[in-house]
Homo-oligomer: A and B are copies of this chain.
Amino acid sequence: MEEREISQAVIGRLPRYFRYLGELRDKGIERISSQELSALMKVTASQIRQDFNNFGGFGQQGYGYNVEFLYHEIGKILGLNQQHHFIIVGAGNLGRALGNYINFEKRGFIFRGIFDKDPALAGQEVRGIKIMPMTEMEEFIRKNEIDIGVLTIPKAGAVEAAEKLVKNGVRAIWNFAHVDLNVPEGIQVENVHLSDSLMKLSYNLRNGSSN
């Protein structure tokens, strides 16, 4: 199946399907029609069918979708049947919060290390893992085959840190630094710009637009 051409908009919606299907599964629901899923998720049934058709459709509409099957198929598409090893760069509150979030592990994202340039933090632990000095990061990445780097440092150091990550084999960056990164072709970046998100909320608060 050719998945490369699928738009980022569709891909961005897959985790939400995955979340709803997981909740249905946990409630013991075995089948659901696109109409029922539509009402639950507040997207049109046509949107759901179009999204699923990018991946071959996942089953007969007349009988609805098999929840367990659909949950696992979408999980596979999202790569959640594989393990990814990540490190966190920056052991401030946000870095610690992400390191402590055990749900990532359930999805195959394994927390392997956390680094900070502040030597005073070295030796403190985040979920049983000692904070290491930044000077040890590059060797650690190479030795431990880290594939995801999580950037939770201020923007001043983020560009240089991203370069080090990529140079040592990291293939994906989850970027919380308030800066856009320039990375080589083939390196994936997913930005979480919290200030941007808050400003969007501010706009909508002022203008009273509906969701």
Contacts and interface: CB of A to CB of B under 8 A. Distances in A.
A147 B186 contact: no
A205 B94 contact: no
Interface residues of A, number: 64
Given A196-B16, A198-B107, A171 B94 contact: no
Nearest to A150: B198
A135 interface: no
Contacts of A18: 199
A82 interface: yes
Interface stretch (A57-65, A95-103, A115-123, A138-146): A95-103
Given A78-B202, A205-B148, A190 B195 contact: no
Nearest to A199: B15
A174 B197 contact: yes
A96 B209 CA distance: 30
B178 A201 contact: no
A93 B174 CA distance: 18
A190 B185 contact: no
A28 interface: no
Interface in A43-94: 77-80, 82, 84, 92-94
Contact of A93 (B100, B186, B190): B100
